[in-house]
Amino acid sequence: MQVCTIDALLAGGFDGHVECRELLRHGDFGLGTFDRLDGEMVVLDGIVYQIKADGSVTRPDLGLKTPFAAVCRFETTKTLEPDGGIDLKTFEGFLEACIPDRNVFCAIRLDGTFAEMTTRSVPAQDPPYPLLVDVAKKQSVFRFENIRGTIVGFRCPSFVQGINVPGYHLHFISDDRTRGGHILNFRLATGTCRIGLCHRFLLQLPESNRAFQDLDLSKDRSAELQTIER
């Protein structure tokens, strides 16, 4: 289940309209952001975590709303043992080779120890909202070493362009639930990767939000997306 579209978020659609409580009715695993773009979301084992721009990690009130999130009920289709030492790019190549099913959604969970993990988070915004690409210029970047934790994310098919992120979108949360964020890069020490393929897609759009209706979602924002995701 997905809340709104990535292009709406890129265009500054930061008003939350679906409660975290509702997200959990549709899945126990996923990622996203929060109302006013207040940090990065990780949903893991049915618990919602909020990683704010100051680096703090909390379990938000489930009444908190999200403008963009994607969740699924994680069911393991395949278990993989990636080599130690690999970075994000190599990991993506590894998954390309192991999971050729590129036209369905693929939930990715990697539990492991990371020699290095680099993440980011974004600060809450006030209306009138800027473009996401401009917020990303003020993102906080966090670098961790020798940290145990879990990668939570998705590989989406190319045809979701405009709706979600084609390719890989990964977030991180540490085992002790005190560190995390949107992954920029990592170097794995050891870990086990579980893959769950998803063949169904539900999109929830805002029901009564004038700001959403006024967003210009006709233009190609893929270049902006490239800038903010990496």
Chain residues binding Zn ion by CB under 5 A are 182
Give 54 or 214: the residue with its C-beta nearer to Zn ion.
54
Residue least distant from Zn ion (Cβ): 182
Give 31 or 188: the residue with its C-beta nearer to Zn ion.
31
Can you tell me the distance from the alpha carbon of 174 to that of 157, in angstroms, rounded to the nearest whole number? 28
Nearest distance, CB of residue 72 and Zn ion, angstroms: 16
Give 54 or 81: the residue with its C-beta nearer to Zn ion.
54
Can you tell me the distance from the alpha carbon of 16 to that of 74, in angstroms, rounded to the nearest whole number? 24
Nearest distance, CB of residue 216 and Zn ion, angstroms: 23
Give 120 or 190: the residue with its C-beta nearer to Zn ion.
120
Give 56 or 146: the residue with its C-beta nearer to Zn ion.
56
Nearest distance, CB of residue 169 and Zn ion, angstroms: 6
Nearest distance, CB of residue 143 and Zn ion, angstroms: 17
Nearest distance, CB of residue 33 and Zn ion, angstroms: 7
| Region of residue 85 (phi > 0: left; psi between -120 and 50: alpha; otherwise: beta) | left
